[in-house]
Amino acid sequence: MSDVKPRIRLDKKTAQKGDVIEVKTLVSHVMESGQRRDSAGNVIPRKIINKFTVDLNGKPLFSADIEPAVSANPYMQFRFKAQESGTLTFTWIDDDGTKITAQEKITVS
Amino acid sequence: MRRSLELSRRRALTLGAGALAATMIGGAPAHAKNDSDELIKKFAGGKEPVKGKVKLDLPEIAENGNTVPMNVSVESPMTEQSHVTDLMIVADANPRGGVVTFRFSPLSGVAEANTRIRLAETQNVIALAKMNDGSVFMDTKLVKVTIGGCGG
């Protein structure tokens, strides 16, 4: 699953200090809840992304602890106030430990 | 003969409707069907959640419980002195109560998040926000679900 390319969209990558930047992210993932059964009646084991984190220059900006009640292909949208330029690092962590990461640069003047 | 039959049928119908209404009222759960009560208690850490500050946006009727758009925001200056630390979403009739917990810091500047959630049936969704001083605020929304979203 590590070859998955997440989709990230920032409404602006250059901003004035204090501007609010909106971030939309989407990653392909089955988000198997562990509640479903296959045709033979066996429970399909749970496999979800259980954590999503966003850091700005290594400092935590936003994160989410995710339960099976989040839909497949988890979509996460949040907003933050631009305070410094730098690199946003996005990380999705799977139940099996696989990490999906992506980065975006922002410039704040 | 005909008249008495008609009456008895009408009577039977009203009785039936009354009985059905009674079971519906009596059957309404006073507390959640899953672990959400415990989750809320644990999250609040002994504090009583106060209604307000949190705004939970969900459709009144969700046609497809597999993907219900949800937006949640908290009124807060988001400064070092006063900010939201955690924002937990619970659903009281899903197989398990927990949906998602967002975590913020003063660096966030805005306490708002949007995602898509699964709802197994018609139920209450509860959003609880914990502030850095330990106080807890909440909002709830009843969502009517036409097609449940837990597969199987």
- Residues in chain B with CB shorter than 8 Å from the CB of A79 are 109-110, 112
Q: What pLDDT is stored for residue A5 in this prediction?
A: 87
Q: What is the pLDDT of residues B79-117, one digit of tens each?
A: 999 999 999 999 999 999 999 999 999 999 999 999 999
A11-27: string of b/e by CB count within 10 Å (b at 16+)?
eeeebeeebebebebeb
Angstrom distance (rounded) from CA B53 to CA B74: 6
Q: What interface predicted TM-score (ipTM) does this complex get?
A: 0.93
Q: Measured between CA atoms, how close is A77 to chain B, in angstroms?
A: 5
pLDDT given for residue A6 in this prediction? 94
Sign of the four-CA dihedral A71, A72, A73, A74 = positive
The reply to whether residue A76 touches residue B98, judged by beta carbons under 8 angstroms, is no
Using an 8 Å CB-CB cutoff, list chain A residues near B77: none
What CA–CA distance (Å, rounded) separates A48 from A42?
18
Higher per-residue pLDDT: B13 or B122: B122
Checking if the pLDDT of B3 tops 80, the result is: no
pTM metric for this prediction:
0.84
* Residue B24: band (very low, low, confident or very high) from pLDDT cuts 50, 70, 90: very low
From chain A, the residues in CB contact with B114 under 8 A are 75-78
B148 — pLDDT class (breaks 50, 70, 90): confident
β-strands B61-64, B136-147 pairing: parallel
Q: A63 CB near a chain B CB, below 8 Å?
A: yes
pLDDT score recorded for residue B7: 52
Q: Domains, chain A, ranges and CATH? A: 7-108 (2.60.40.10)
Q: Quick one: how far is CA B57 from the chain centroid?
A: 11
